[in-house]
Homo-oligomer: A and B are copies of this chain.
Amino acid sequence: MKKLLVASLLTLAVPAMADTAPARLSAETLATAAQLRERALAGSGAYDVVESLTTEVGPRMAGTEADARAVAWAVKKFGSMGFDAVRTEPVRFPVWRRGHERAEVVSPFPQPLHLVALGRSVGTGGAPIEAEVVEFATLKDLENAPEGTLIGKIAYVSNRMERFRDGSGYGPAVAARGRGASSAARHGAVAYLLRSIGTDNDRLAHTGMMSYAEDIPKIPAAALTNPDADILSNMLRRGKPVTVRLDIDAGIGEEYESANVIAEVRGREKPEEIVLLGAHLDSWDLGTGAIDDAAGVAITMRAAALIAALPLRPRRTIRVVAFANEEQGLIGGRAYAAAHGDSVTQHILAAESDFGAGRIYAFATSEPPDAARPVIEQIAQALAPLGIEYTPGKGGAGPDLIPMAQRGMAWAWLAQDGTDYFDYHHTHNDTLDKIEPAALDQNVAAYAVFAWMVAESDVDFGSAVKQ
């Protein structure tokens, strides 16, 4: 009830604001945007931020002791960069613990298999499971398997993710990770394996979230590296039964409190109006989370810090959020929405950097009011020298922004080149060396230009409470 009332009031407020908004940004504002762009390209400092987080904290899976060190790191790092305010907001979740994972083919061709347990998976119950493997080309094939055909077996889905610049191979492939285990268990399987959701041929498996359907037995779920999936499929192709031993120690433990770390450059005229930049602070436990998502933290942090270093604050507030526990279900993003969902319309426009460290090639926003189009065109023009194309109608909200976007927050999309992203995503290989400093600078330039221009504008970009 309270929520609806607030929503109505805010909805009413928007047109009033838009009426008085200047249609276009001034030449001075554009000149400052160009300065920000050039400063970032000349060396944004973002690479050093990634180096710092990956070296001084390293892997920082949600709920581990490194989670707390990462939060402390972020508070300190924001604090050193001229922000007007830095604070944390609590984020709570049950901890998932990875103990170990081991697998080997027992027969007919004994050899080890390299895999990792999927995030939130259960273990094998303190002792190894030994069972015959049944391969399915796709998740759909598994779902359509005849009733009871997998009793006592290990189900294995072997389809391979395709490589695209925009990462669009991920969506079709990742369902096998998310819900494959329960599909397998529904047919009586005792464990579930899949080919890693990744585009590489490295012997490093890709972890990532899975979830269990209710009222279905929870069975352990793990991803084989692409080369190991090849080995297993090549064995199975010979037509003889293949038996695998699987030993996984993993499971859900205690409740943990982490934090979203929030830093602001306060608006000089409308401090209550927020341009939100996001990224996530947590990583998986395997790599050092350089591309996922120290890069995003560094890009948004340094973009806002460049604006904080200007002689004049922008009209509106720029808020940077380093979200907690994105990896295990957008927990930080949900906590943010729970805390700030009532102020959707104060969130003028939001963008998240969570797709690695490749160059930005496209820009778009959620459907804007007509009054915002001239400013969006100006932003697109200011981004164009960075090799960024304006592609209205494309894109979407970054993961941690989804809970707010679902409530009606307007979003912008600064699309990074993700051609190589899924070579490293959620693997041990997500390390500093995968990042090109100049590409990171280009990202900072884009975010700084974008945030400055939105914050200096006075138009409404379409945030409105969804009824």
Residues of A within 8 A of B (CB): 51, 54-59, 65-66, 109-112, 114, 201-204, 226-227, 230-231, 234-235, 287-288, 427-429, 431-434
Q: Do residues B201 and A434 form an inter-chain contact, with CB atoms below 8 A?
A: yes
Tell me the bound Cα distance from A204 to B431 in angstroms.
Answer: 12
- Chain B residues in 8 Å Cβ range of A201: 429, 431, 433-434
Q: Do residues A109 and B428 form an inter-chain contact, with CB atoms below 8 A?
A: no
The answer, among B109, B235, B429, for a CB contact under 8 Å with A203, is B429
Q: Do residues B58 and A428 form an inter-chain contact, with CB atoms below 8 A?
A: no
- Chain B residues in 8 Å Cβ range of A226: 433
Tell me the bound Cα distance from A230 to B109 in angstroms.
Answer: 37
Tell me the bound Cα distance from A114 to B429 in angstroms.
Answer: 11
Enumerate 7 A-B pairs (CB-CB under 8 Å) in ascending A order. Answer: A55-B235, A58-B112, A58-B231, A59-B111, A203-B429, A227-B429, A227-B433
The answer, among B114, B230, B287, B432, for a CB contact under 8 Å with A428, is B114
- Chain B residues in 8 Å Cβ range of A432: 227, 230-231, 234
Q: Do residues B202 and A429 form an inter-chain contact, with CB atoms below 8 A?
A: yes
- Chain B residues in 8 Å Cβ range of A287: 203
The answer, among B109, B203, B230, B429, for a CB contact under 8 Å with A57, is B109
Q: Do residues A203 and B431 form an inter-chain contact, with CB atoms below 8 A?
A: yes
Q: A203-B427, A203-B429, A227-B432 are in contact. List 14 more A-B contacts (CB 8 A).
A: A54-B231, A55-B234, A55-B235, A56-B109, A57-B111, A58-B112, A203-B204, A203-B287, A203-B428, A204-B204, A226-B433, A230-B433, A231-B431, A234-B432
Tell me the bound Cα distance from A56 to B109 in angstroms.
Answer: 5
Find the B residue at minimum CB distance from A65: B110
Given contacts A204-B204, A429-B202, contact A66 B111 (CB under 8 A): yes
Q: Do residues B109 and A55 form an inter-chain contact, with CB atoms below 8 A?
A: yes
The answer, among B65, B202, B204, B231, for a CB contact under 8 Å with A288, is B231
Q: Do residues B109 and A58 form an inter-chain contact, with CB atoms below 8 A?
A: yes
Tell me the bound Cα distance from A428 to B203 in angstroms.
Answer: 6
Tell me the bound Cα distance from A227 to B432 in angstroms.
Answer: 7
Tell me the bound Cα distance from A434 to B51 in angstroms.
Answer: 31
- Chain B residues in 8 Å Cβ range of A59: 111-112
State how many angstroms separate the Cβ of A228 from the closest Cβ of chain B. 8
The answer, among B51, B111, B227, B235, for a CB contact under 8 Å with A234, is B51
Q: Do residues A230 and B431 form an inter-chain contact, with CB atoms below 8 A?
A: yes
- Chain B residues in 8 Å Cβ range of A235: 55
Tell me the bound Cα distance from A202 to B424 in angstroms.
Answer: 9
Q: Do residues B431 and A58 form an inter-chain contact, with CB atoms below 8 A?
A: no
Given contacts A202-B204, A428-B203, contact A55 B288 (CB under 8 A): no
Tell me the bound Cα distance from A260 to B230 in angstroms.
Answer: 29
State how many angstroms separate the Cβ of A370 from the closest Cβ of chain B. 48
State how many angstroms separate the Cβ of A433 from the closest Cβ of chain B. 4
State how many angstroms separate the Cβ of A69 from the closest Cβ of chain B. 8
The 5 closest A-B pairs by CB, nearest first: A58-B111, A227-B431, A203-B428, A201-B433, A55-B234
State how many angstroms separate the Cβ of A245 from the closest Cβ of chain B. 15
Tell me the bound Cα distance from A51 to B231 in angstroms.
Answer: 9
- Chain B residues in 8 Å Cβ range of A203: 204, 287, 427-429, 431
- Chain B residues in 8 Å Cβ range of A429: 201-203, 227
Tell me the bound Cα distance from A287 to B230 in angstroms.
Answer: 13
- Chain B residues in 8 Å Cβ range of A51: 234
Find the B residue at minimum CB distance from A232: B55
State how many angstroms separate the Cβ of A290 from the closest Cβ of chain B. 9
Find the B residue at minimum CB distance from A287: B203
